[in-house]
A and B are shown apart, each in its own frame.
Chain A
Amino acid sequence: MLSIKNLEAGYGKVQVLHGISIDVPKGKVVTLIGSNGAGKTTTMRAVSGMIKPTAGEISLHGKRVDGMESYTIAKLGLAHSPEGRRVFATMTVTDNLILGAFPRLTGSRPKGDVASDLEKAMELFPRLKERRNQLAGTLSGGEQQMLAMARAVMLNPEIVLLDEPSMGLAPILVEEVFRIIEDLKGRGVTMLLVEQFAAAALKVADYGYVLENGRISVHGEAAKLRDDPAVKAAYLGGGH
């Protein structure tokens, strides 16, 4: 569904990605693993159009999307839950979620039943339901994280990019987030996942790519990567 070929990207003078290629097949979960600064978030940003690649191709459903604006890519069914809780602080939780469905309301994506999806999103995150009328800016950090993820789901997307969905969440909620990812996977949602808990990410994912200094060093089926001694030593660490 999503195919990235020889992607190069960076910020200003700094080149971060030096030609990476990734395939995300329909209905599968693919995870990116790597240390800080390896280029995981940059890849996500390039895919959703937040930064423009300097070389390479990104296609969605076989259609070239590199160089397109983010909102156009969103209309094609790609939702991005960004790192670091970017929510609309001065709007309520409910309004944040409804805005996630904006392309559906304006007719650039199939409308479906927005109201019932809103209920479903709140069921996924009961905490958000409790706070539905609260301003997003007054939520705690972890709650904003959940809101960003729920908002991405509201697009009724064909593919979701999840950048560190469990960041800043209490251990009990980290389990919850992975349960939700499983749940979405069960519903056939394609996902590209970046997670600090690499071991847990490899459990839920079908395929994994290891990024090192902007290049892919290893990739393959998630189960195999999990048993790869080099990957284990470098990224999976102790615990979790």
Chain B
Amino acid sequence: MKSKSLISGIVGIAILAAAPLYTSNPYYIHMIGTIMIYAILLFGLDIVVGYTGQVSLGHAGLFGVGSYTAGVLFFKLGAPLWIIIPASIGVTAGFGALLALPALRVTGPYLAMVTLAFGTIIQILINEMDFLTEGPLGIKVPKPSIAGMQLNENGFYWTVLALMVISLVVVDRILKSQLGRAFEALRGSPVASDCMGVSVYRYKVYAFVISAGFAGLAGCLYAYSEQYISPNTYNFELTVLFLLAVIMGGRKSRVGSLLGAAIIVILPKLLDDLEMFRVVASTLAVLMAVGGAIAVSKKMTTAKSMALPVVGTIALTGFAFWLQSITDWRLSIFGLMILFVVYYLQDGIVGFVRNLFARKGPRAGHAVVRAAGEHQDAIMKAAAGAGQDLLIAKGVLMQFGGLKAINQVDITVKRGTIHGLIGPNGSGKSTMMNVLTGIYVPTAGSIEFSGRSVVGRTSSDIALSGIARTFQNVQLFGEMTALQNVQVGLHHTFNSNIVDVALHSPRYTREEAASVDRGLGLIEFVGLADLANEEARNLPYGKQRLLEIARALALDPQLLLLDEPAAGLTAPDIKELISIIRKIRDHGITVILIEHHMDVVMGVCDNVSVLDFGQKIAEGKPAEVQANEKVIEAYLGGTAA
């Protein structure tokens, strides 16, 4: 699989590299060059849109910053290429940070609006700052020189190709590293990312800045390619085209970015000429009919739902042959085609093809079965000192409006013990977990963990100091595999920076291999070894809960908070869970357990606290609590097991 894509990649590059030898028409060479330049930008935009799930309408602006950095440096200082390229990347990444730091505090439509405003401001600034940018007059930029030789059209084309391939490899490596996993995780579940020590805000900003860097590189090359830049190029339409390219090509895919770039460059040109348009429409109709037939025969969809698009493309072909002149219809047809793709191919072209040829059976991935004794214990031993107070909460008050969800609760948990937290639904147990992990800041009271206060610290900071948790409503990163989920938990074991990742330095390779090994070990520990390469969202509910435990253990926690781990488990699964919890304790890890299954609570807990209406009504050994009148009345009921 891997070698196959490598070979097709090399063949693709070879074809692209040979293109200038086949045609002497500079028009086509320039067009392919433009596609590759756009592709560089789209690789970066896909990091933000496809992986972190943010919408940026500011990328045309960033593209413009890159172009004008190149233009101004050349025009004012006559700087050479080897200075201009890094400068464009650096300056644009700087602008990206300037935009991202405030903008990424907000999400969704607000983020779209802020980035849109940014793009507009950049365009206005370029227009107005004519002392630097020559304003609407624009700047002429001749083709660059390398080693004193000015590049001709072909030489520049090969330079762009080389930079595109480098960008592709670097982006691919970033996305397959711990950075890429962090980006995907924060989209899957922001709250879980924070609680795994991966600060959502920080990694959103990283993603944006990296993306801006690629936009800068693309902008710089674009300036050389066009040989003339002016403010009008970097307008709102371009930003929308970029977004469309990512969506149409297929998000989370480098091939998708290339395809998307090709579409937005070629399609409008094809529509210039009626003959061309007829060919395109006919090809589309044939492709659609064949694709539809395959999809129906594979039972992926019904003949009924495929009928409309097939008939639609055939009608378009008919329309093409009926038309006498295309100029009046160009934009409408372009719009229709885009609408069609976005509506019918929601995973983009790459996603559609992938689904069409999806193979049944297990995915290729990391070998799951490893020789016995090859790896050491996957769970890190917790620090010694059993019996000392690990967590001391005093007078904790959590108020939401008039509601006191937790009212003056004191809880002390000793190192190396399993502490049960039970109580009726709505009594404040999960709120307590959220307070301990920094999701809520308590209204009053103090919480000390290992001698340090946690009040007011961020979730990711608290997580890194040794408190890991699972969630009552499972919070896995759905589109990532089981192993990748655990590797997000292992994020703290990485010291490699982006340069290590791009170059695959020994440090990065070592850390990545170690995280795979430990990740598989943890997955094995919770009994999911044969599901390591399955996407988390495809696991059954009970197994998702076990995977959450494995991911939490990856943080090397001193304290593990389990929120209803047995919910939805059947009797035999519960026995398995009890033995897992005991093994975790045997590694010296302290556990706080919220659970409604009394056999679990009674079976493993050393101490139990009972909450009711936000107040602690009982505390003690499990047997004492079970016999407590108040607890029976409020919680256990008459015939409880």
Chain A complexes with chain B: yes
Return chain B residues, CB-CB under 8 Å to A84.
473-474, 541, 568
Return chain A residues, CB-CB under 8 Å to B634.
172
Return chain A residues, CB-CB under 8 Å to B400.
138
B425 & A143 in contact (Cβ 8 Å cutoff): yes
Stretch from B65-73, B129-137, B358-366 contacting the other chain: B358-366
B573 & A36 in contact (Cβ 8 Å cutoff): yes
Confirm or deny: B202 has a beta carbon within 8 angstroms of a beta carbon on chain A. Answer: no
B570 & A235 in contact (Cβ 8 Å cutoff): yes
With a 10 A CB-CB cut-off, give which of A33, A127, A146, A240 has the most chain B CB atoms: A240
B575 & A13 in contact (Cβ 8 Å cutoff): no
Confirm or deny: B596 has a beta carbon within 8 angstroms of a beta carbon on chain A. Answer: yes
Q: In angstroms, how far is the closest chain B Cβ from the Cβ of A172?
A: 3
B594-633 vs A, Cβ < 8 Å mask (1 yes, 0 no): 0010110000000000000000000000000000000000
With a 10 A CB-CB cut-off, give which of B425, B543, B598 has the most chain A CB atoms: B425
State how many residues of chain A have any CB contact under 8 Å with chain B: 46
Confirm or deny: A164 has a beta carbon within 8 angstroms of a beta carbon on chain B. Answer: yes
Confirm or deny: B368 has a beta carbon within 8 angstroms of a beta carbon on chain A. Answer: no
Q: In angstroms, how far is the closest chain A Cβ from the Cβ of B90?
A: 42
A141 & B572 in contact (Cβ 8 Å cutoff): no
Confirm or deny: A229 has a beta carbon within 8 angstroms of a beta carbon on chain B. Answer: no
Which residue in B426, B539, B541, B596 is a CB contact (below 8 Å) of A127? Answer: B426
Which residue in B424, B534, B542 is a CB contact (below 8 Å) of A170? Answer: B424
Q: Which residue of B lies closest to A164 (CB)?
A: B568
A169-B425, A170-B596 as given contacts; A13 in contact with B358, CB under 8 Å: yes
A175 & B639 in contact (Cβ 8 Å cutoff): yes
B598 & A171 in contact (Cβ 8 Å cutoff): yes
Tell me which residues from 1 to 29 in chain A have a Cβ below 8 Å from any Cβ of chain B: 11-15
B425 & A142 in contact (Cβ 8 Å cutoff): yes
Q: In angstroms, how far is the closest chain A Cβ from the Cβ of B406?
A: 12
> In the complex, A19 Cα to B318 Cα: how many Å?
44
Return chain A residues, CB-CB under 8 Å to B571.
198, 235-240
With a 10 A CB-CB cut-off, give which of A12, A33, A84, A142 has the most chain B CB atoms: A142
Indicate the size class of the contact surface on chain B. 35 or more
Return chain B residues, CB-CB under 8 Å to A36.
540-543, 568-570, 573
> In the complex, A71 Cα to B200 Cα: how many Å?
36
A171 & B641 in contact (Cβ 8 Å cutoff): yes
Return chain B residues, CB-CB under 8 Å to A175.
637-640
B570 & A196 in contact (Cβ 8 Å cutoff): yes
B386-427 vs A, Cβ < 8 Å mask (1 yes, 0 no): 000000000000001000000000000000000000111111
Confirm or deny: B538 has a beta carbon within 8 angstroms of a beta carbon on chain A. Answer: yes
Return chain B residues, CB-CB under 8 Å to A139.
426
> In the complex, A236 Cα to B570 Cα: how many Å?
8
Confirm or deny: B567 has a beta carbon within 8 angstroms of a beta carbon on chain A. Answer: yes
Return chain B residues, CB-CB under 8 Å to A174.
596
A221-240 vs B, Cβ < 8 Å mask (1 yes, 0 no): 00000000000001111111
> In the complex, A171 Cα to B638 Cα: how many Å?
10
A198 & B570 in contact (Cβ 8 Å cutoff): yes
A37-B542, A37-B543 as given contacts; A167 in contact with B568, CB under 8 Å: yes
A167 & B637 in contact (Cβ 8 Å cutoff): no
Confirm or deny: A173 has a beta carbon within 8 angstroms of a beta carbon on chain B. Answer: yes
Return chain B residues, CB-CB under 8 Å to A212.
none
B426 & A35 in contact (Cβ 8 Å cutoff): no
Return chain A residues, CB-CB under 8 Å to B538.
11-12, 14
B524-549 vs A, Cβ < 8 Å mask (1 yes, 0 no): 00000000001101111111000000
Confirm or deny: A80 has a beta carbon within 8 angstroms of a beta carbon on chain B. Answer: no
Q: Which residue of B lies closest to A138 (CB)?
A: B400
A38-50 vs B, Cβ < 8 Å mask (1 yes, 0 no): 1001000000000
Confirm or deny: A59 has a beta carbon within 8 angstroms of a beta carbon on chain B. Answer: no
Confirm or deny: B302 has a beta carbon within 8 angstroms of a beta carbon on chain A. Answer: yes
> In the complex, A170 Cα to B631 Cα: how many Å?
11
A14-B538, A143-B425, A239-B599 as given contacts; A35 in contact with B573, CB under 8 Å: yes
Confirm or deny: B430 has a beta carbon within 8 angstroms of a beta carbon on chain A. Answer: yes
> In the complex, A140 Cα to B398 Cα: how many Å?
14
Q: Which residue of A lies closest to B431 (CB)?
A: A140
A196 & B543 in contact (Cβ 8 Å cutoff): no
Return chain B residues, CB-CB under 8 Å to A138.
400
Return chain B residues, CB-CB under 8 Å to A196.
567-570
A84-B541, A139-B426, A140-B425 as given contacts; A168 in contact with B636, CB under 8 Å: no
Confirm or deny: B635 has a beta carbon within 8 angstroms of a beta carbon on chain A. Answer: yes
A132-166 vs B, Cβ < 8 Å mask (1 yes, 0 no): 00000011111101100000000000000000100
Return chain B residues, CB-CB under 8 Å to A104.
none
A170 & B635 in contact (Cβ 8 Å cutoff): yes
Return chain A residues, CB-CB under 8 Å to B638.
175
> In the complex, A237 Cα to B472 Cα: how many Å?
24
Confirm or deny: B76 has a beta carbon within 8 angstroms of a beta carbon on chain A. Answer: no
> In the complex, A142 Cα to B422 Cα: how many Å?
13
Confirm or deny: B564 has a beta carbon within 8 angstroms of a beta carbon on chain A. Answer: yes
Q: Which residue of A lies closest to B534 (CB)?
A: A14
B294-320 vs A, Cβ < 8 Å mask (1 yes, 0 no): 000001001000000000000000000
Return chain A residues, CB-CB under 8 Å to B574.
237
Confirm or deny: A83 has a beta carbon within 8 angstroms of a beta carbon on chain B. Answer: yes
> In the complex, A140 Cα to B639 Cα: how many Å?
24
With a 10 A CB-CB cut-off, give which of B299, B359, B540 has the most chain A CB atoms: B540
> In the complex, A15 Cα to B362 Cα: how many Å?
11
A139-B426, A140-B426, A168-B472 as given contacts; A35 in contact with B635, CB under 8 Å: no
> In the complex, A143 Cα to B429 Cα: how many Å?
13
B425 & A168 in contact (Cβ 8 Å cutoff): yes
Q: In angstroms, how far is the closest chain A Cβ from the Cβ of B632?
A: 9
B426 & A142 in contact (Cβ 8 Å cutoff): yes
A36-B569, A235-B572 as given contacts; A168 in contact with B541, CB under 8 Å: no
> In the complex, A173 Cα to B636 Cα: how many Å?
9
Confirm or deny: A215 has a beta carbon within 8 angstroms of a beta carbon on chain B. Answer: no
With a 10 A CB-CB cut-off, give which of B424, B564, B635 has the most chain A CB atoms: B424
Return chain A residues, CB-CB under 8 Å to B564.
141, 168
> In the complex, A37 Cα to B547 Cα: how many Å?
14
Q: Which residue of A lies closest to B535 (CB)?
A: A12
Q: Which residue of A lies closest to B401 (CB)?
A: A138
Which residue in B426, B473, B570, B641 is a CB contact (below 8 Å) of A85? Answer: B473
> In the complex, A35 Cα to B534 Cα: how many Å?
19
Q: In angstroms, how far is the closest chain A Cβ from the Cβ of B270?
A: 35
A14-B534, A36-B542, A171-B637 as given contacts; A143 in contact with B426, CB under 8 Å: yes
With a 10 A CB-CB cut-off, give which of B358, B422, B598, B640 has the most chain A CB atoms: B640
Q: Which residues of B contact A (CB under 8 A)?
A: 299, 302, 358-361, 363, 400, 422-427, 429-430, 472-474, 534-535, 537-543, 564, 567-575, 596, 598-599, 634-641
7 example contacts (A-B, Cβ-Cβ < 8 A) are as follows A11-B538, A13-B363, A140-B426, A167-B568, A168-B472, A169-B425, A172-B635
- Nearest 4 CB-CB pairs, A to B? A237-B571, A142-B425, A36-B542, A172-B637
Q: Which residues of A contact B (CB under 8 A)?
A: 11-15, 33-38, 41, 54-55, 67, 83-85, 127, 138-143, 145-146, 164, 167-175, 196, 198, 234-240
